[in-house]
Structure 1
């Protein structure tokens, strides 16, 4: 008759250890998982960038990169020779899909930053020096933004396709 209480104690002990171990494991996994994504699954807009009411806070695909806030600088006097001593002139394009910032130094253009709003994938097709081309895509639309230096300043154009 003493065997039953011993077996019961072993079973209760095993259940307590199993529950405690599972709880500890799930706690560790939960904390580690929160730190692994580091916010890469969502893209937030930089300070000062207004969102339109049609933008939604849906998850974005992994692989998107967040860039520093784009800035717009006033043109500065330059020597006109296209040399590297010129101060770059920056301009920014903003649309429903995101923000693109580029700088011209003489005739060479450079992509400063590209930020996709939530719900859009971002692809950097060309980052200079002849032109900048960035595409924002969803399942049913594509917005291509291009920029070239004209008179030492970035000039943007956009092409939309698949929107209805």
Structure 2
């Protein structure tokens, strides 16, 4: 399966600009989830009406599978401005089970209560285990159970479908 990364990103930019206009969202805080979500968010920033720099979120310690044997996380820094009563646009590369997004929302709410949280996802795999749905989706994919989407970057950002075996 060949994925058109630029087409998916362009679709997200159009949807995001329209969404912000429709909801009267101004000066939003764009938050990318490490690592792929940060790479996607960097490419979306121009479509968002904001003067805030890109914020980043590392959800490693918020994951519900953190204590599983063999998990050897690479921890990145969370950089989040004051979010109380602000509009947050949460960005990630892939929505599969919804567990990463749940962890990200838990961390965001530990920093304060935003006015709203908008979820922007590059690829939605439709394999949700939690009741989480994206507001902005670059592309919806149907993959075989053993397949995964792999985003490589940040320079020369590329995407491929790989076997998870």
Shorter-chain TM-score category?
A: under 0.3
More strand by share: 1
Highest RCO, 1 vs 2 (Cα 8 Å, sep ≥ 6): 2
Larger radius of gyration: 1
Q: TM-score, normalised by structure 1?
A: 0.24
Please identify which structure carries the higher helix content: 2
